[in-house]
Amino acid sequence: MSARSETKRLSVPDIRARKGGTPLVALTAYSALTARLVDAHADILLVGDSLAMVEHGMDTTLGATLDMMILHGQSVMRGSARALVVVDLPFGTYEESPQAAFRSAARVLSETGCSAVKLEGGAGMAETIGFLAARGIPVMAHIGLTPQSVMTLGGFRTQGRERAEWDRIEADARAVAEAGAFAVVVEGVVEPLAERITTALSVPTIGIGASARCDGQILVLEDMLGFNARVPRFVRRFGEVGAAIDKAVGDYAEAVRERSFPGPDHVYQPKD
């Protein structure tokens, strides 16, 4: 039996139990390749609808489809063995009713084998979260800056700049947690409010552009690796892989044009 097959994947109860403990490490992953690279280090791999922008070149996440999410979710599951895999429900696949959300989530879980789904929205989605949780579908909630609502928000705007907004945002967080979400992503929320929400909830908070006091952190993998020249303020670039790829491809192109590649070690000769 391979070491990979012996690896025990983290479960939803494992993640929930990390509340107030060692911070959870979460990253996006969209393919088997990236999943293999980060699986040993991450507790959660999110197949985010951000793949619409990162992988498919769209301007927003709104173009992601359920079939697209399932395809990438299957790939990430094949490439990972340890991390809990969560797949986003894309725009238009869950907002209509709890029943519509159940049909979408059931497809995601059954066709990918992932452990949970994530959906955006606060108190307005509490009924849906409760409906899913009661039917055996683990849900990660997402409040604060919700990219699927970018048209309503008027762009990717930090939430809670005005203290008058704090009670509403905290109420959203409490509502989704009380409805049954096992964790809550807190995105683009001012630091003191994110810390207050983390203290108030009995389930882990996963921050992105929020606070180091959250119970975990998530970033888009390609952002933190330096693939993109422009990234949000909350991203720390932990590597410059994009620049390394650019140099490698440039060196390859130069070698091809000057006919130094392929060389004697890269071609085959007849036996006689």
Per the structure block, which two tokens stand in for 168?
Answer: 């509403």
Dihedral sign from CA coordinates of 217, 134, 124, 196: negative
The catalytic position among 95, 170, 187, 258 is 187
Burial 62-90 (b: 16+ CB within 10 A, else e): bebebebbbebbbbbbebbbebbbbbbbb
43 is in an annotated binding site: no
Using alpha carbons, list the distances in angstroms from residue 116 to 41, 113, 138.
19, 9, 5
Q: Is the omega angle on the peptide bond into residue 262 within 30 degrees of 0, that is, cis?
A: yes
Per the structure block, which two tokens stand in for 222?
Answer: 């390609």
Q: How many CA atoms lie within 13 Å of 26's alpha carbon, on the beta-carbon side?
A: 28
DSSP state, residue 166: H
50 is in an annotated binding site: yes
In sequence order, what DSSP letters do the residues of 116-133 get, joined into one string? EEEEEBSGGGHHHHHHHH
Residue found by looking up tokens 């999110």 in the block: 46
Phi, psi (degrees; rounded to nearest 5) at 210 = -130, -95
d(CA 212, CA 215): 8
Task: Look up 187 and say whether it is catalytic.
Answer: yes
118 is in an annotated binding site: yes
55 is in an annotated binding site: no
Q: Say how many residues make up the chain.
A: 272
For the annotated catalytic residues, the residue numbers are: 187
Binding site for 3-methyl-2-oxobutanoate, residues? 49-50, 88, 118
Binding site for Mg(2+), residues? 49, 88, 120
Binding site, residues? 49-50, 88, 118, 120
